[in-house]
Structure 1
Amino acid sequence: VQWIRGEGLLEKGKKVTVTGADGKKETHEAKKAVVIATGSRVKGLPQIGLELDKNIVLSSDDVLVAEKAPATMAVIGAGAVGCEFADVFASFGTKVSLIEVAANILPIEDADCSAELAKAFKKRKIDVMTGAKISNVKVTKTGASMTVEAGGQTQTLEVEKVLVAAGRAPNVEKIGLEAVGIAKSERGFVKINEKFETSVPGYYAIGDVAGNQMLAHKGSREGHVLADLLGGQHAHLVNYKNIPSATYCHPEVASIGLTEQQCKDQKLDYKIGKFPFSANGRARTSGETDGFVKIIRDAKHGEILGAHIVGAHATELIHELVVARENEFTVEEIDLAVHAHPTLSEAIGEAVLDSLGKMLHA
């Protein structure tokens, strides 16, 4: 692998012009393919007066190099990143206000999981505000203030730091897409097909810049599959419906497949199975009894439509269900697998049994 360090610009004819740190330019031509993997970047909220400034209004990149934890912090956005950093700074002793415009924190997760995490956060004195509207933002050299409307109440919030965790934007600007003629999707990502091909032959895109889930493990799998395709090998295309979601806070949250609301929206005939970690022997002995496992199955055939876990090591446990869904196992087949005792994974087996009306240890 030849590593060329510099700023790249796409050119027609499967070429890339690279400008080095010394200002010199050199053009490289690909024999077979040019792969666009420029990723994404954090973004501020200029529409409400929160431009990132590395001093008061911070991104998830900026807080990683903060010299100390502030006394107070407002976290704007309660997706995975917002919840993770709210958890971290609350552990440091920061008084955290977690603000989310949607009705629930972790809005893409199952509503039961969101409610369970919100309950755990509130127990730890994290101020969780959902369905929130922010106005009157003022940023000074020493802090920020804003008006927050949430839950029928309006308050003025004054904090030392603001963490903006309201999403990421794909890096599609100034890389030559327009000059080459590569199309973008309605949401601004590089438009690709199932084999990562863009609208121009010989140019491919993977990772955050290509849309779908903006997750490291999704982008990594795309890279593996594309390498096989370009090498003439047989490759299983990426199943975007079976990419696990993981939020690394306390308790952890992990999921695969459909939420219960999505099942309702699609008018699916489904059954729910649920098992609390408070009834799991391993969770009780380790003192980690928050949370549950929730299984959503097809009512007729037992297909696993979705699975959702809140609790200790949820991001590890979910992979039993990722493998099950990828191989089209039914809940009955998961029940056939003997789960060692005492383990947290027993909760998966119990949730499956509950979906069948056969729970043993509630």
Structure 2
Amino acid sequence: MSNAYDVIIIGSGPGGYVAAIRSAQLGLKTAIVEREHLGGICLNWGCIPTKALLRSAEVMDYANHATNYGLKVDGTVRADVKAVVDRSRGVSARLNGGVGFLMKKNKIDVIWGEARLAGKGKVVVGKSSKKPMEPQNPVPKGVKGEGEYTAKHIIVATGARPRTLPGIEPDGKLIWTYFEAMVPEEMPKKLVVMGSGAIGIEFASFYNSMGVDVTVVELMPQIMPVEDAEISGIARKQLEKHGLKIITEAKVTKVDKKANSIVAHVETKDGKTQAIEADRLISAVGVQGNIENIGLEAIGVKTDRGCVEVDGYGRTNVDGIYAIGDVAGPPMLAHKAEHEGVICVEKIAGVPGVHPLDKSVIPGCTYCHPQVASVGLTEAKAKEAGYDIRVGRFQFGANGKAIALGEDQGLVKTIFDKKTGQLLGAHMVGAEVTELIQGFVVAMNLETTEEELMHTVFPHPTLSEMMKESVLDAYGRVLNA
């Protein structure tokens, strides 16, 4: 079998495997190199299994508040930690097998091992230093392995890994990354979460719902620092009402390890320090691109702050070398990686009308309780950019569906350019907002104005009605508030 391809993709995460499928659809001979597990971190250790864990936490919350819905649950509702984790791993295993099926269906060669760029158009694949996935997901039969491969176009999609802080490096036992946090053998009684981005807040929310005493420590003035300040403030109040302890404008300066517990020393902005005893600490201070040991330096590919420099089509400064997904820089989101992969491959194939990646319309979602979702500029960023803006708001407490669901705490916020009616940003906190945000994403991609949104009929009774009401509010025409 020939080792020459049109496109070789290094990494089979969301960006890599989607790029491979689109490449094959366009008639390009395609191979994908993977060293550990098809589907990458997102499918196996990130987006998917965490949502399975959070679903268990959500059901736990409903069970514990059954009386709010006129129901009686006799006895104590307890979490079977092993069963919760096994369900999460099973969800990943099912989707992992699905990626393997898609590779076979699209006649994409899978090469197992660790790839290294070895000059123009050359990839050398060596033996993987990683375990070949999990026991329930053995290496697929019929895949290629070690050797030298050539391709006209090579796409680096090697993803990212947890960032670590000096002196507070994860050890897999007392200080966890999301890997260990996803598969606890038992629930800790007390937990410190360092960092309140999406990863930190999602794990804090999960463990809190499971009855763990959780403290979140965040360096910035607000949790979820990339979100609109008003939305972040509402989320914080709800999380604290649910039992989370949150310390902002603070940092963990040192962690003392004991036999089976830790003491986190937390310094606040006024210079005061407090010691927090806990069973475990989760380090969730961001991620960094996997750019090492793949030959980028040897062929002169430019990198910046741990990521590969690319243009809007995924092209690096070296002809024939591309990068997509987390390794190509923020926002480090699976859906960004997928879309970036499609753009990159379509540009390679010469598909007419391919547009460069527009990062301004990439939505962000955090699946804590309450959920948070957003797209576009925050109110502060819109003002910083010099826009004269109109801001619309609509509370969940004025929506019939939200009240019927027992989920009447939340807000939909929209930001418009007063001059043109352009939707600059949309921000939400509350039940199911991660499913609602796409409506605003589509609107922004279509350059929809406030007039078109106000003339759109939204179904009743739905949570989506709040989206229209928020638009109406921005123009002094709100109907149900």
Q: TM over 0.5: same fold?
A: yes
1:73-88 matched pairs, under 5 angstroms: 73-88=191-206
2:196–2:218 contact (8 Å) kept in structure 1: yes
2:280 aligns with: 161
2:332 aligns with: 214
Matched, 1:13 2:131: no
2:155 aligns with: 35
1:99-110 matched pairs, under 5 angstroms: 99-110=217-228
Greater CA deviation, 273-282 or 4-13?
Answer: 4-13
Deviation at 1:151, TM superposition (A): 7.2
1:1-362 matched pairs, under 5 angstroms: 1-21=108-128, 25-30=146-151, 32-46=152-166, 49-150=167-268, 154-185=273-304, 187-234=305-352, 235-362=354-481
Greater CA deviation, 272-281 or 37-46?
Answer: 37-46
2:326–2:333 contact (8 Å) kept in structure 1: yes
Q: Deviations over 1:197-219 (max 9, x none)?
A: 11110111101001131000000
SS at match of 2:470: helix
2:84 aligns with: none
Greater CA deviation, 226-235 or 114-123?
Answer: 226-235
Q: Deviations over 1:61-115 (max 9, x none)?
A: 2111111210000000000111100000001110000110000000000001110
Deviation at 1:237, TM superposition (A): 2.5
Count of equivalent residues: 357
SS at match of 2:204: helix
| Paired amino acid for 1:223 | G
SS at match of 1:33: strand
Deviation at 1:196, TM superposition (A): 1.1
SS at match of 1:4: strand
Deviation at 1:188, TM superposition (A): 2.5
Greater CA deviation, 127-136 or 341-350?
Answer: 127-136
Deviation at 1:21, TM superposition (A): 4.9
Task: Give distance in 2, aligned partners of 1:314 and 1:298.
Answer: 23
| Paired amino acid for 1:278 | G
SS at match of 1:359: coil
Task: Give distance in 1, aligned partners of 2:259 and 2:164.
Answer: 18
| Paired amino acid for 1:319 | Q
Task: Give distance in 2, aligned partners of 1:19 and 1:305.
Answer: 48
SS at match of 2:427: strand
Deviation at 1:239, TM superposition (A): 1.5
Greater CA deviation, 226-235 or 351-360?
Answer: 226-235
Q: Deviations over 1:89-148 (max 9, x none)?
A: 001110000110000000000001110110011101110110013224212331111222
Aligned CA RMSD, in angstroms, stands at 1.4
Task: Give distance in 2, aligned partners of 1:151 and 1:292.
Answer: 30
| Paired amino acid for 2:113 | G
Give the structure-2-normalised TM-score. 0.72
Task: Give distance in 2, aligned partners of 1:133 and 1:231.
Answer: 48
| Paired amino acid for 2:160 | S
Deviation at 1:174, TM superposition (A): 0.8
Task: Give distance in 1, aligned partners of 2:310 and 2:254.
Answer: 41
Task: Give distance in 2, aligned partners of 1:223 and 1:169.
Answer: 19
* Unaligned ranges ≥5, structure 1: none
Deviation at 1:324, TM superposition (A): 0.5
Deviation at 1:14, TM superposition (A): 1.0
1:129–1:151 contact (8 Å) kept in structure 2: no
Task: Give distance in 2, aligned partners of 1:44 and 1:93.
Answer: 27
